Amino acid sequence: MLLELCKALADPCRLRLIAVLLNGEFTVQELTRIFAMGQSRISHHLKILTEAGLLEVKRQGTWSYYRASPTNRLFAALRPAFEPELELLPERSRDLTAVTAVLEERRRRSLEFFDRNARQWDDLARTLLPVPEYRQQLLAQVPAGSTVLEVGIGTGNLLLELAARGGKVIGVDHSPSMLEEARRRIAASGMGTVELRLGEISHLPLPDASVDCVVANMVLHHAAEPVAVLAEIRRVLAGGGRLLLADLARHEREWAREKLADQWLGFGAEELTGWLTTAGFTDVCCERLAGSAGQEAVLLVSAS
């Protein structure tokens, strides 16, 4: 085990791969772009690292995402000493720039989709991926009269129900067209207490510790980097604040990538709970709501 691990790490290219995959999940295609190397060379190095137990593969339909294995005990023990050294690799800043470009490409794809489909979004969502009813269960957990932030507001459906509960409501979305749809809906409802902001969920336009509750409804599976989004949500939550998150459970509807610009085919309950704990959340409670025939199961999560 030790020898395999040391041998796998004893290569400059594999050290760069590990440095990137310690902080994200990428497909082979994305890694070929990040490292500007051919697919067979990247696949060869990934195979060695995976066989040594340093990487694991997360399958999503026919796509495979590689990431550092969280279960390798030896590497976990070495990591605190090892990680700062990886930052000193000569190609590190070039690699980080290339990672940023790939993540930017994921975000751009989602933004273009929602800007193009804002008008017909509600119909698309209702007909293509129906889910069981969970909104009242989510709304019931929103602390009354608090400052609530909804991230990824879509056309503002849930936003209005949040505003109806009293308190200040802020909605953030990166798509100007979706914001416009939401603005229209809010104006028609006469609800004056909602504030809309254009912004990225991974860089929220809010100060630290400024809201009591964050609602993330069906947005995490569009995120380029879900882990970074959860850390960002934690940044804006005040002490004792609450995150209420609803998202698709793992599914195999591969067409959702094309038809709904989904980055992830849902999440596992364990995976999501682990990310929340890493991001510093406590009291994480994750309930799986199985749908009836033709509906996708939903994970309803609350965390402090």
Ligand X SMILES: C[S@@+](CC[C@H](N)C(=O)[O-])C[C@H]1O[C@@H](n2cnc3c(N)ncnc32)[C@H](O)[C@@H]1O
d(CA 162, CA 153): 11
Q: How far is the CB of 52 from ligand X (least distance, A)?
A: 34
Closest to ligand X by CB, 70 vs 130, is 130
d(CA 248, CA 51): 31
d(CA 14, CA 182): 46
Q: How far is the CB of 184 from ligand X (least distance, A)?
A: 14
Interacting residues of 214 by C-beta distance below 8 A, sequence separation 6+: 148, 149, 150, 151, 233, 236, 237, 241, 242, 243, 244
**60, 69, 175, 302: which one binds ligand X (CB under 6 A):** 175
**Is the sign of the CA dihedral 247, 253, 254, 256 positive or negative?**
negative
Site string for ligand X, 84-113 (x = CB under 6 A): -----------------------x--x---
**SS3 assignment, position 153:** coil
161 binds ligand X (CB under 6 A): no
Q: How far is the CB of 303 from ligand X (least distance, A)?
A: 18
Closest to ligand X by CB, 223 vs 303, is 223
d(CA 23, CA 79): 12
> Which token pair is 96?
């980080």
Q: How far is the CB of 136 from ligand X (least distance, A)?
A: 13
204 binds ligand X (CB under 6 A): no
**24, 152, 241, 266: which one binds ligand X (CB under 6 A):** 152
217 binds ligand X (CB under 6 A): yes
169 binds ligand X (CB under 6 A): no
173 binds ligand X (CB under 6 A): yes
299 binds ligand X (CB under 6 A): no
Strands 298-303 and 211-217: unpaired
**SS3 assignment, position 155:** coil
d(CA 304, CA 299): 17
User: Which residues of this protein are in contact with ligand X, per CB under 6 A?
Assistant: 107, 110, 114, 152-154, 157-158, 173-175, 178, 200-201, 217-219, 222-223
